[in-house]
Chain A
Amino acid sequence: MSISFWADMLSYIFLVYTLMLMLIYVVSALASYRVIRNHVAETSFVDFRQILTSPLSPKISIIAPAYNEALNIVDNAKSLLALEYPNFEVVIVNDGSKDETLQRLIDAYKLEKTSFLVQQQVECKEIIGVYKARDEAVSHLTVVDKRNGGKSDALNAGINVCAGQLFACIDVDCILERDALLRMIKPFLEETDQKVIATGGVIRLANDCIISDGRLIEINVPRNLIARAQVLEYMRAFLLSRVAWANINGLLLISGALGLFDKQTVVEAGGYSHKTVGEDMELVMRMRRMMEERKQPYAVRYIPDPLCWTEGPTRWDILGRQRNRWTRGLMDCLKFHKKVFFNPDYRVMGMISYPFWFLYEWLAPIIESLGLIFSIILWILDIINGSSFWLLLATVYSYAVCLSCMAIWVDQKTYLQYRSKRDLGRLLLIALIEPFFYHPFTVYSSIMGNIDYLRGKKGWGSMTRQGLSKPATPTPSS
């Protein structure tokens, strides 16, 4: 058989793969829009204050691991303590910080070490002390001091100390909407036929937004192009994809930045794993596997409301490290749970979600890179069908822009987060240029993640942040 025959065959494979991916995205985008529209209509009838006064509200523990966060820890704790919910506690876990994180908290809230008896329900490193405040006003604050063991270990320590039926794991430097807990609790309360084991919420980027006293005052599209491209990327991921996955109960990932979990199920599943940097996804997959194996009806839900604002990387090196870590985490999860791959015993998880993550989340950057290499080889051998190549590129580009426009459109039709013409213009501009500079970089980082994984690299790598706690712009009168 000739080279051109094999070249044609490979071309067909790349083409079919691309078309399948495009089809999946379009179906999921349309399904997501339908779900979000319904959710927004339903939410307009909901008075979340009813939960505030209800004796039926279950207790929620917020677990926030902190490592070397001395700069902002007091402000962040203040923001968490001010959340709206009738029955909650905040558990900040100092994961062996080398700076003054613990001391700042002790000073700010006049904390005292207690004789708190820790029930070791899930594995974690030694807890040195549990601190509570003297002041009644912050009696719902608990600070745990422990030996350094990483984020998953800190979360496990928090699970061992917390008292809520449900716990929310959050990144301590995130800004939560005041009513985030009220909104996230609803799916747990709504189900009667199945147990809701976890709920996720939409994460948005807060770069260049105005924040004061731990509250988001004004939403802006970031000036930095890397951050701006991430805004669009998050909108596509959260508004056009995850909602649809949750709708078919196929969600495998609840972001580590914000998730609400049923504590009993998490404890029975063994808590967060220390063996991976993708501990958030791994936990959800393990919980789902456990429920499937027990044949217990369950659901993983998702709230499309923007509830959590976080800072995105603004430098290529930090972004690269983040994406590298995400890829390694994904590979761990796929490896640990390979048993479910096209296994009908695991229903949606085994037949749809896992194969999608394998074929289209993990393999996509690899296939994309191989496609590019393949095209270069064909070019060198002078057997490329030039028009097909350019048409394929044009298809992928126009489709990417179309998908970004759809994300912007869904946002405008539902949550209307970016209201000004300037913000809209910025988003549209980035939708046009992002496929040329941002997307190739994320593919490159993902490939490097694969290589690092095969080399056995572990760990998070340093994630420098600029910090979100900017004061509000003072008005002339002040």
Chain B
Amino acid sequence: MMRISHTDWIADLENTWLDSLGPFQLLLLTLVVISTLTAFFLVAHVMMLMLVRNRRKRWADALQARIEDGIAIWLAGDYSIRELTSTFQEEIKKEPRARKTILNVIFATSKLFRQEGQATLRQLLTGLNLHQLCYKLLKNRHWYQQAYATQIIGQLQLEQALPLLKLKLKTKKSTLRLELITAMIALGDQSWLQEIDYTSTHLSDWEQIVLLERFRRLNADQLPPFEIWLTSAHTDWVLFGVRLCRHFNRFDQVPELGNLLQHPNIRVQMAVLDALDYLSPPEAIPFLVRFMHEATGDLLRTTLRVLGNQGDPELVKLIAPYATHADSTVQFSALSALKEVGLTEIELRQLSSDPRYIDHLFDPKLQ
């Protein structure tokens, strides 16, 4: 019956509507139907999302409160780890989805503890077999699930996962790679250093910021031997090495840093200037003076500033010629450096052809 009426309908359409644009009418009709159905589906899905979200949230909030209470009682000493495990196992038995929530809470709680507390939480995790869930997530096809599992593995130091982590290190997803490196550092494994040459020729500034922040939390003896990156074939790793030398006050690396002023990459050169400015060792002055004679533009301006910050009066005669440089921005940097070295306002006015530079330099509101 349905089939016949459908055919009739099409025939009717062809008889009454079809002329030279006939096929397009059918196309348009199809588009109307598809658009309308899609719109209905989307609206229905949005409404369903709204309902489910509210219901799930209520359930998850209640479960989370129970788990947190359980952990609080255990921390207070009123629960043994066995009692806590059996309480959580009951929750999992009632609703298997509770495993993920329990994992989340244990992970969040572990961030509040240092080594000893984490060992007990690790025991709880393995007691509930949730470490298997981590390994399963690590094999998930979505990178963000893998990254989440990696975070937990690193935080709770699940050493058995190390081979799996190493396998993943070749990923192109930088967020996951950072989590893997962090987890491997936490597990005391530095084999990722050897992997760099094969897998990570690039290291963005963002990755450097994240890694630096994580290195800052480590003890000095846990830090990777970053000075070897100063001679890396990959510019990004040289740059990171320079930045780490600056951050961790590696005065012993000043000669290597000075030599890196000859590196062909301007970002490395700027980072070296920044490091030498921060460390301010007198041994850096010969490198800086030599570089000042070769540099142009931004590099020259920065070098003048760094030399000025050294505060060595001997530098006056070397910097002074730049106060009459053809580039006005270089002139300004040179005058600023000379002021830092100790020249007075009157002496600088004699050197400069433009009094506005000196007005700017000695304006107390601009200091």
Contact = CB atoms under 8 A, between A and B. Distances in A.
A190 B206 contact: yes
Contacts of A116: 360, 363, 366
A473 interface: no
A55 B175 contact: no
B25 interface: yes
A49 to B, nearest CB: 9
A56 B205 contact: yes
Nearest to A134: B365
Interface string B128-157: 000000000000001110011001000000
A454 interface: no
A112 B365 contact: yes
B45 interface: yes
B280 interface: no
A472 interface: no
A346 B92 CA distance: 58
Query: Which of B24, B35, B42, B246 has the most C-beta atoms of chain A within 10 angstroms of its own C-beta?
Result: B35
Interface residues of B, number: 56
B311 to A, nearest CB: 22
Interface string B257-295: 000000000000000000000000000000000000000
A46 B175 CA distance: 8
B28 A54 contact: no
A402 B35 contact: yes
B314 interface: no
A402 B359 contact: no
Interface string A41-61: 110111000110111110000
Nearest to B49: A412
Contact of B25 (A42, A119, A391): A391
A192 B28 contact: no
Contacts of A51: 209
Query: Which of A117, A132, A134, A392 has the most C-beta atoms of chain B within 10 angstroms of its own C-beta?
Result: A117
Contacts of B204: 189-192
Given A189-B209, A398-B31, A45 B179 contact: yes
B209 A402 contact: no
A391 B28 contact: yes
A158 to B, nearest CB: 17
Given A190-B206, A406-B42, A428-B43, 8 more contacts: A45-B144, A57-B209, A116-B366, A385-B17, A398-B31, A405-B38, A412-B50, A413-B49
25 contacts: A15-B21, A45-B147, A45-B179, A55-B246, A115-B363, A117-B356, A117-B357, A117-B360, A119-B329, A189-B209, A190-B205, A191-B204, A192-B236, A391-B25, A395-B28, A395-B35, A401-B35, A401-B36, A401-B39, A402-B38, A406-B42, A408-B42, A408-B43, A409-B42, A409-B46
